[in-house]
Structure 1
Amino acid sequence: MRLRADATPTAPALVLRPWSPADAAELVELYRDEAMRRWTSSAVNDEAGAVQWIQDQQQGWETGHRFGFAIVESQPGGAEEQLAGHVVLKNVSPRASSAEVGYWTAAHARGRGVAPRSLEALTDWAFTVFSRDRLTRLELLHQVDNTASCRVAEKSWYELTTCLPAAPPAYPLAGHVHVRPRDL
C-alpha cells in the first residue's frame, strides 16, 4: 500500500507507505528531536524500542484498526528515501462513523508542507477505502498549546469544533478537537 502527495516548489514528492523493520535505525534518530518527544505520546529511545514501535504499527494493519504510514521524501532519480514523518488513521471500526487521525513530522521536514500534504493523502484514502463502512468523519486531537498542529488541521480542512479539558496524567493539558466530514 503506497499513497502519494505531489511535490511543491519547496519540497519533494512524498510517499506514504507502511513502516518496515528497515526503518528502525532512522526512527531512533528522528526521536532524538526534543520537539517531537514533547508532542508525541510514544517514546523510542533505542533500536529495540524502534523495532517494537514498528511491530505495533504492523499489528495495527493486521487487525484493521490502525493504519500507520511512514512518510518518506521521494528523491529525484530514485535516490534513497528519507523518512520525513508519520501519519496514522486509528480507532477504525466497521460500525463506527468516525475515526481519528494523527501525525508527526521529523525536524528536518518541518515548515515545508509535509504534514498537511500527508494528512490530505491519508484523509482522501480513508474516506475512499472506508466509505462502505460508514466512515463519515475524521477527528484530529492535539494539545491546545500545539499551534503548529492547529495550522496543519486548518490547512487540511479540519475545523476546530471543541476543546477538551485536561485529564492528567495521560493528557496534562486541555486539547483541541478538529473534525473533517467526508462530504466537504
Structure 2
Amino acid sequence: MPVLLSAAATPSAPGLLLRPFRDGDGDALLEAYRDPVLRAWTRYPVTTRGEARAFVRRSRQGWAADRRFSFAVLEDTPAGERLVACVVLKEVHPGQPAAEVGYWTAAPARGRGVAPRAVEAVTGWAFARFAAAGLTRMELFHQIDNPASCRVAEKSGYAFAEVVPARPPFPRDGHRHVRPRP
C-alpha cells in the first residue's frame, strides 16, 4: 500500500498531499526543474524526459530498498494536483541513530510555508516508522549561502548544530541542523 501523508492548509497555502513519485510525474518534474534557482541548488537536475524517468526509477528503488524515501509534495488546485516540492528521507539504516532529510521547493510554491510543512510531515512519519529501528534524530544539511534553507530548517524544528566544512560534491561550508525524536 502506498504511503500517503498530508499537511493541513494554512491561510496562505492549500493543504498538501505527500506520496511516492509515479511514472506520470515526469512532466511536473521537468517543469519544476526549469527554475534556475532550483537547478543551482541541486546536484542532479532533471532537464530531459530520460532524466525524469531516471528520477522516478531511483525513487522507486530507494523505497524498495527501504533506505531512501522520496515524496512528491502536491497541492490540490482547481486545475488538479500540482507538484510543488520534494522531500527525501535518506540514509535510513537499522541501528543507526540518525537519518537525513532533504528537500526542494518549486518556484511558484516558495514563501508560502510549503517546505516547512512538508518537512514536518516527513519528519513525523520517519520518527514513527523507524523509532523501533533506532532512529533518535533527524539531520538537515544546507550550504551556508542558502539562508532560505536555514529558515526552513528552523521552522521545521531543526535546531542549528554546527558549521560543516566544504567537501565534495559541496563547494561551500554548510550548516547541520538537528531535530531529536520527541
TM-score grouping bracket, smaller chain normalisation: over 0.9
Aligned to 1:32: 34
Q: Structure 1 residue 61 and structure 2 residue 60: aligned?
A: no
Aligned to 2:15: 13
- RMSD (Å) for aligned C-alpha atoms: 0.9
Q: Which amino acid aligns with 1:18?
A: P
- Structure 1 unaligned blocks of 5 or more: none
Aligned to 2:133: 133
Q: Structure 1 residue 43 and structure 2 residue 45: aligned?
A: yes
| 1-structure distance, mates of 2:6, 2:76 | 9
Per-residue deviation, 1:91: 0.4
Aligned to 1:176: 175
Per-residue deviation, 1:61: 0.0
Aligned to 1:148: 148
**SS of 2:88 mapped into structure 1:** strand
| 2-structure distance, mates of 1:105, 1:80 | 18
Q: Which amino acid aligns with 1:51?
A: R
| 2-structure distance, mates of 1:3, 1:102 | 16
Deviations 1:150-176 (A, max 9, x none): 0000011101101111124x1100010
**67, 71, 74: which is aligned to 1:72?**
74
Q: Which amino acid aligns with 2:100?
A: E
**SS of 1:138 mapped into structure 2:** strand
Aligned to 1:158: 158
Report how many residues are paired: 180
Q: What is the TM-score with the length of structure 2 in the denominator?
A: 0.97
- Structure 2 unaligned blocks of 5 or more: none
Per-residue deviation, 1:40: 1.4
**SS of 2:80 mapped into structure 1:** coil
| 1-structure distance, mates of 2:48, 2:178 | 35
**SS of 2:72 mapped into structure 1:** strand
Aligned to 1:95: 95
| 2-structure distance, mates of 1:24, 1:46 | 9
Deviations 1:72-123 (A, max 9, x none): 00236xx510000100100000120110000000000000000000000001
Per-residue deviation, 1:41: 1.6
**SS of 1:74 mapped into structure 2:** strand
| 1-structure distance, mates of 2:166, 2:131 | 33
Q: Which amino acid aligns with 1:25?
A: D
Aligned to 1:124: 124
Aligned to 2:112: 112
